[in-house]
Amino acid sequence: MADVTATAQQMADREMIARVGDGDQSAFGALYDRLSGPLYSLALKMLGDPSDAQDALQEVFVQIWSRAGTYNPEKSSVFSWAVLLTRSRAIDRLRARDRRQRVVAGSTPDEAKVAETTNASMVESAADTAEKSDEAARVRYVLNNLPSEQRQAIDLAFFGHLTHHEIAAQLGQPLGTVKARIRRGLLRLREQLRT
Amino acid sequence: MISDEQQDQATLYVLGLLEPHEAAAFESELNANAELRDIARELREAAGSIALTAPLRTPPASLKQRIMGEIAKTTKDRTIVPLRRPSFDWVPWAIAAGLAVFCGLLAVDRVRLERQLANIRTVDPLMHTTFYTLAPSAPAPADAKATVAWQPGSQSGVIRISNLPAPEPGKDYQLWAVDAEHKDPISAGVVRVDKNGVAQIRFKPVEKAEHVKAFAISLEREGGVPKKEGPILLVGTA
């Protein structure tokens, strides 16, 4: 099933990750070029600090390098695998931050710091940016058309570092309701993106 | 047919929101259920796409150099051959000889300790026993619990359940051993609770289970099923 539904980009990613698994540094460089933008954007949105996001991204790519051989195309696309690795690293950092009792930035980026760093580094090929923007616009459109309670639950579950119990407490809803909202929202998102 | 509850668990699993013991139980369910694996994949892809909604930023070029440098270093570290120092050639041999003597002493000591342990085991059956604490997962009541005392040597155990109400007519609770060497959970039989939601039952799995990671109780058709079908109500590791 995974093979049938894979897009050309997903096939290219699989080819690259297979070469990375064989220790091919040039394939790793190409994979970095393809994934670093969205992964960095995710880390930055979650962590709110460019320096922290860069450290997280470094950990993720070192992990990709060392674990490429364990990637399983039956479980997910390379992109989703890398996204979930990044999210997991960012959550680890947020929890460590909580433990150190520093100021918790939550899921709201520190816009001043973000702007300062990214003004100098927003260099991408126009075609690449356009392609990512198209995809992003589509995902945003679908998310915006979900019922607001599903969108809110997904946002907290994905970008926050809350457990499902904490999300339920924050929304003042029973646990079962929150689980169902996240599940329905994600499945609907997937279904809409496939059409 | 995948139930809403299984889909909920799949969603939490994909987002890394399950507790470790819940994740272990869900993974064994995934291994046994191709349809559930497809759902989990769909949910992963949906979750992955959400990352695209973050405002697009590009990391500084220096980060790529830093990362490429680090992976080049790990590659080099893997292939580094230690330099030989001729004037100290005897040192590794001396260390090896010392270690050999030390290992010999350890081996003698180990044999002595194993004998002592064997003696203790013959008089104390608890030495053979591993205990598993099973915690509830929805839809079991939050105060339901169970403890399993498992003896791998005799392939038998005792389970004590409390606060688990009797199932609806036509249903039974069934105990499962999640074993690392088996793809599917191994049935350990039907367990029936009394009117107070309590049971204490001896059990023996239907197949040999030498590497039990967890025990779980699911709600199944009356009389039990050969392969787990229903939702897991209690699950726990040692």
Assign A111 a pLDDT band (cuts: 50, 70, 90).
very low
- In this prediction, residue B205 carries a pLDDT of 93
Average pLDDT for chain A: 81
Tell me the angle at which helices B34-50 and A175-194 cross, rounded to the nearest 10 degrees.
Answer: 80
Tell me the angle at which helices A50-67 and A25-47 cross, rounded to the nearest 10 degrees.
Answer: 140
pLDDT at A135 over 60: yes
Assign A192 a pLDDT band (cuts: 50, 70, 90).
confident
Residues of A within 8 A of B46 (CB-CB) are 186-187, 189-190, 193
Out of A117, A154, A190, name the one closest to residue B42 (CB): A190
- In this prediction, residue B196 carries a pLDDT of 86
Evaluated on CA atoms A92, A93, A97, A103, the torsion sign reads: negative
Residues of B within 8 A of A123 (CB-CB) are 58, 61
Predicted ipTM beyond 0.90: no
Distances from the Cα of A48 to the Cαs of A53, A56, A96, A99, B53, in angstroms? 8, 12, 15, 17, 15
Distance (Å, rounded) from C-alpha B38 to C-alpha B51?
A: 21
- In this prediction, residue A129 carries a pLDDT of 52
pLDDT at A100 over 80: no
- In this prediction, residue A18 carries a pLDDT of 92
pLDDT at A19 over 80: yes
Q: Please tell me the least confidently modeled range out of A1-15, A39-53, B33-47.
A: A1-15
Contact B46 A114 (CB under 8 A): no
Distance (Å, rounded) from C-alpha B71 to C-alpha B83?
A: 22
Taking the model in full, what pTM does it have? 0.58
For residue A183, the tally of other CB atoms under 10 A from its CB is: 24
**A174 — contact with chain B (CB < 8 Å)?**
no
Contact B53 A140 (CB under 8 A): yes
- In this prediction, residue A96 carries a pLDDT of 83
Out of A84, A136, A164, name the one closest to residue B47 (CB): A84
Question: Percent of chain A beyond pLDDT 90?
Answer: 49
Mutate to test the interface with A, among B18, B19, B27, B58 (most CBs of A within 10 A): B58
- In this prediction, residue B140 carries a pLDDT of 84
Higher per-residue pLDDT: A104 or A97: A97
Distance (Å, rounded) from C-alpha A30 to C-alpha A8?
A: 16
Q: Give average pLDDT by consecutive 10-residue segment, chain B, 238 residues.
A: 88 88 86 91 92 90 93 66 55 81 77 68 62 84 88 88 90 92 90 89 90 91 89 88
**Under DSSP, is residue B191 helix (H, G, I), strand (E, B) or coil?**
strand
Q: Concatenated DSSP letters for A26-77?
A: HHHHHHHHHHHHHHHHHHHHHH--HHHHHHHHHHHHHHHHHHGGG--TTT--
**A192 — contact with chain B (CB < 8 Å)?**
no
- In this prediction, residue A177 carries a pLDDT of 93
- In this prediction, residue A2 carries a pLDDT of 40
Q: What is the DSSP letter of B223?
A: T
Residues of B within 8 A of A143 (CB-CB) are 50, 53
User: Stretch A94-112: mean pLDDT, rounded?
Assistant: 57
Mutate to test the interface with A, among B8, B30, B53 (most CBs of A within 10 A): B53
Distance (Å, rounded) from C-alpha B214 to C-alpha B235?
A: 7
Residue with tokens 């003042």: A172
- In this prediction, residue B27 carries a pLDDT of 87
Residues of A within 8 A of B7 (CB-CB) are 183, 187
Distance (Å, rounded) from C-alpha A5 to C-alpha A77?
A: 10
- In this prediction, residue B80 carries a pLDDT of 45
Q: What is the DSSP letter of B125?
A: G
Q: Concatenated DSSP letters for B43-110?
A: HHHHHHHHGGGSPP----HHHHHHHHHHHHHHHHHHHPPPPP-GGGTHHHHHHHHHHHHHHHHHHHHH
Distance (Å, rounded) from C-alpha A123 to C-alpha B163?
A: 61
Chain centre to alpha carbon of residue B220: 22
Distance (Å, rounded) from C-alpha B199 to C-alpha B165?
A: 10
Q: How far is A58 from chain B (nearest CA, A)?
A: 6
**A130 — contact with chain B (CB < 8 Å)?**
no
pLDDT at A24 over 80: yes
Distance (Å, rounded) from C-alpha A56 to C-alpha B231?
A: 37
What percentage of chain A's residues is helix, strand, coil (to nearest 5)?
80, 0, 20
- In this prediction, residue B172 carries a pLDDT of 92
What percentage of chain B's residues is helix, strand, coil (to nearest 5)?
45, 25, 30
Residue of A nearest to B65 (CA): A29
Contact A91 B16 (CB under 8 A): yes
**A124 — contact with chain B (CB < 8 Å)?**
yes
